Structures are given as structure tokens and as C-alpha cells.
Amino acid sequence: MDKTAAVVVIGDEILSGRTEDRNSAFLSRELRGLGVRLRHIAVIPDDIDEIASTLKQLSDKYDYVFTSGGIGPTHDDVTMAGVAKGFGVEVMKDPDMERIIREKFETSSTEAALKMAEIPEGAELIEVSELRLPLIVFRNIFILPGIPEYLKIKFEAIKERFRESPFHVRTLHISEMESNIAHILQEAERVFQDVKIGSYPKIGKDAARVKVTMESKEKEQADKTLEYIKRRLDPSVIIGVE
């Protein structure tokens, strides 16, 4: 079975529309490149109970969960408390985190920064050489920062451990109305059950009115599906093949 993943973006600023979420799009592209099937993205508030219930549910259901945000030193950073609550463990001051913070932060900010040493019991630390603070992992939950530049660095430090066999995607651009090709796609879906067939209508001046994608972990299956659909279309409506 393919490995599956969920992404949980934690932050009132995203829900209120004040800040744009760039992290879930980044992680979706990365996971795809790694051959991991992302099955759920949730954006939730800085709220301990919401974090606890969302993470428990997704951690049980999928192989990996990646969180973004809520791990700084201020009162609205409650991701660690949420993780702990979701799994019925305590938040504890971790001696390794404490040592790292005392070493790497200016004396003036050590006290507040020490809040970041408080992590769920049983969490592991993974050192990331480019950053002051390590990546924290609790069970199958990888706790990433909200700042996109830092999230990227931390994710890249661990991404190879998630690599699976790649997805193969074929794409057809068609100048027909979606409803006129629906029956062909439905047949193809029945014949090639391991291939995900997607149909995406386009509007505007583009000659292609619909994009059809065929995705599989089996390259041959993706290719066969493409041939099957192409053969059933009037060649004049095929604008492009990728």
C-alpha cells in the first residue's frame, strides 16, 4: 500500500485571511514528488482542543502527519500542548531542548525562549544543522514551524526518509466540453481501476476546455489509460498530450 499523509496548518492568521498559507501547497508538491499520497489538509485555529482532536484523528488514520505553526515562545503558540492533550501525555521541559536554547539564544531572551523547551513526553529531537532549534517528532507527527523558510529547511532535512516509488502522470488537453467526454472517462475508470483519472474543466480563452489526468504508481498502467482514452476521442479535439 502507498504511504499516506496529512498536513495540519495551525494558525488563526490563516483562517482570518490575513496571512496566506504557503506551507500546505509546498508540502503537497514535496509529498507528491516523494511518492507519498497526501489525503487530508486541515487548517485549524491556535486552540489546544482543536489541535488535540484533529491530530489524534489524522495520526490514527494516516502514516505521517506534518504540522505547521504554533511552536514559538508566545501565548498563542499552543501546538505542543495540543499534541500532548491529543495523546494523553504531559508537556515536559526537555533537558536537551533546554541546553540547546541556553546555548543558542541571547541571554536577554533565554527565559521566554525556554517555553520552547516544553515538549510532549516521548517526543524525539532531530537536529537540523542550518537552524538553532531541532525538529520535534511525536510518534508519526512531524512538528514544523509556521515560517515558510524554516518549514522548508526542516522538511528538507528529513524528506528522504519518506521516499516511495514515484507517481506517473499523463495529461490530455481536450477542446471538448467535459460533459461530452464524461462517458469515455467513466469507461476508462472501470477498466483501469488502479489509475486515478481526473477531469478538470477550464474556462476562458484557452482552446483546451478540459484537462484530463491519469495517475498511477505503475507507469505502464498510466500509459495504457492514456492510449485507451485517446483512441476513443476524435483526434481533432486533442490539443496536447503530456
Please give the residue ranges that form the binding site for a second copy (CB under 8 A): 12-21, 24-25, 28-32, 37-46, 50, 72-77, 105-106, 108-109, 111-113, 115, 147, 149-150, 167, 169, 177-183, 185-186, 189, 196-201, 203, 213, 215
Q: What's the closest the beta carbon of residue 190 comes to a second copy, in angstroms?
A: 9
Query: Alpha-carbon distance 189 to 178, whole Å?
Result: 15
Q: What's the closest the beta carbon of residue 122 comes to a second copy, in angstroms?
A: 26
Q: Dihedrals φ, ψ of 94, to 5°? A: -85, 125
The runs of H, that is alpha helices, within the chain are 12-15, 23-34, 48-61, 79-86, 95-104, 110-113, 148-158, 178-191, 219-232
Q: What's the closest the beta carbon of residue 101 comes to a second copy, in angstroms?
A: 9
Q: What's the closest the beta carbon of residue 85 comes to a second copy, in angstroms?
A: 18
Query: Alpha-carbon distance 45 to 12, whole Å?
Result: 5
User: Which CB atom, from 70 or from 134, has the smaller least distance to a second copy?
Assistant: 70
Q: What's the closest the beta carbon of residue 178 comes to a second copy, in angstroms?
A: 6
The C-alpha torsion from 80 through 82 and 88 to 90, rounded to 10°, is 30
User: Which CB atom, from 77 or from 94, has the smaller least distance to a second copy?
Assistant: 77
Query: Alpha-carbon distance 195 to 43, whole Å?
Result: 29
Query: Alpha-carbon distance 31 to 15, whole Å?
Result: 23
CB 63 within 8 A of CB 2: no
User: Which CB atom, from 73 or from 228, has the smaller least distance to a second copy?
Assistant: 73
Q: Which amino acid is at 201?
A: P
User: Which CB atom, from 74 or from 165, has the smaller least distance to a second copy?
Assistant: 74
CB 44 within 8 A of CB 10: yes
User: Which CB atom, from 122 or from 201, has the smaller least distance to a second copy?
Assistant: 201
Q: What's the closest the beta carbon of residue 213 comes to a second copy, in angstroms?
A: 7
User: Which CB atom, from 4 or from 89, has the smaller least distance to a second copy?
Assistant: 4
